Amino acid sequence: MQRRNVLQTILGAAALVFGVAAAGQAAAQDKPIKIGVTGGPHAQIMEQVKKVAARDGLNIQVVEFSDYIQPNAALAAGDLDANSYQHLPYLEAQMKDRGYKFANAGFTVTFPMGIYSKKVKSLDQLKAGARLGVPNDPTNGGRGLLLLQSKGLLKLRADAGLKATPLDITENPKKLKIVELDAAQLPRSLDDLDAAAINGNYAESAGLSPTKDAIAMEGPKGPYANLIAVREADKNKPWVAKLLKAYHSAEVKQYIQATYKDSVITAW
């Protein structure tokens, strides 16, 4: 009789331990994955990703930030599990400058820069000495020049990189005149220019469609494609794969295309 009582006690204790462990595991699975985003399209798209991921058992909490610095700082501090708001050049610069140990979990969307014109229908129609507008700030100016280079209009010094300026131009067969203007002013300056490299958001505000109106455009998988960043140690965890699967789903892609038309392009 005593042996039976002892056995029942042991079995009861084992069941209790198993139950506690199972409950702990379930709680761990229910703990939300915190994703940092900036306001606007990144936040809106992640809300759609959240719905898709939930069907795969992934609980996402979207955390919105109003600047570009804090999402990476919060990720490094462990306050976030991932963030979705930056392109690879920015991520790499942050890692170099601040020592972050991050990894690119996968690409998301691109806000494409295009070349627009009211005077020509193709780059081949640009005449010698044509005036081409580019943004006058370092980041977007270099981006515009790299776009012109990618289309064969000019060549830059090999080490100019993403911060290229007109001073870095080494070959200019058509003797194009590069006109540096405030990025927001470029759409309104098309009457005075032969063409201009315009950021996607400013093009959209001016009623220009990158895929319909641009005579040339960045590729969707170019250096400015945005991405999901995670801590290096987390890159191969199952939840990362689930997050990327949800983001790259047909449902989310359809939402992006229907909501943003051509101003936001999927990069996968």
Q: What is the dihedral of CA 65, 68, 70, 72, to 10 degrees?
A: 120
Kindly report the average pLDDT of the chain as a whole number: 89
Let me know: does 223 contact 90? Beta carbons within 8 Å.
no
Instruction: Say if residue 231's pLDDT is above 90.
Output: yes
Contacts of 21 (CB under 8 A, 6+ apart): none
Instruction: Say if residue 8's pLDDT is above 70.
Output: no
Instruction: Say if residue 71's pLDDT is above 80.
Output: yes
DSSP state of 265: E
At 5, the pLDDT band (50, 70, 90 cuts) reads low
Helix (H) or strand (E) holding 133: strand 131-135
Residue 10's pLDDT is what? 52
Phi-psi region of 181 (alpha: psi -120 to 50; beta: other; left: phi over 0): beta
Let me know: does 42 contact 84? Beta carbons within 8 Å.
yes
Let me know: does 135 contact 199? Beta carbons within 8 Å.
yes
Instruction: Say if residue 21's pLDDT is above 80.
Output: no
Residue 131's pLDDT is what? 98
Helix (H) or strand (E) holding 27: helix 2-30
Backbone φ and ψ of 217, nearest 5°:
-155, 150
Residue 261's pLDDT is what? 80
* Tens-digit pLDDT profile for residues 170-226: 999 999 999 999 988 999 999 999 999 998 878 877 888 888 899 999 876 677 899
Q: Going from the N-terminus, what domains does the chain have, and what CATH number goes with each?
A: 28-111+223-266 (3.40.190.10), 114-217 (3.40.190.10)
How, if at all, do strands 177-181 and 131-135 pair? Answer: parallel
At 22, the pLDDT band (50, 70, 90 cuts) reads very low
| CA–CA separation, 99 and 93 (whole Å) | 10
Instruction: Say if residue 256's pLDDT is above 90.
Output: yes
Mean pLDDT score, 122-133:
97
* Tens-digit pLDDT profile for residues 36-59: 998 888 999 999 999 999 999 999
Distances 182 to 84, 134, 186, 193, 215 between C-alpha atoms, Å: 27, 8, 7, 14, 21
Residue 126's pLDDT is what? 97
Range of 16-25, 91-100, 119-128, 140-149 with top mean pLDDT? 119-128
Residue 196's pLDDT is what? 98
Residue 2's pLDDT is what? 54
Contacts of 13 (CB under 8 A, 6+ apart): none
Helix axes 41-54, 238-247, angle to 10 degrees: 110
Residue 20's pLDDT is what? 44
Q: What residues does 106 pair with on adjacent strands?
A: 228
Residue 27's pLDDT is what? 42
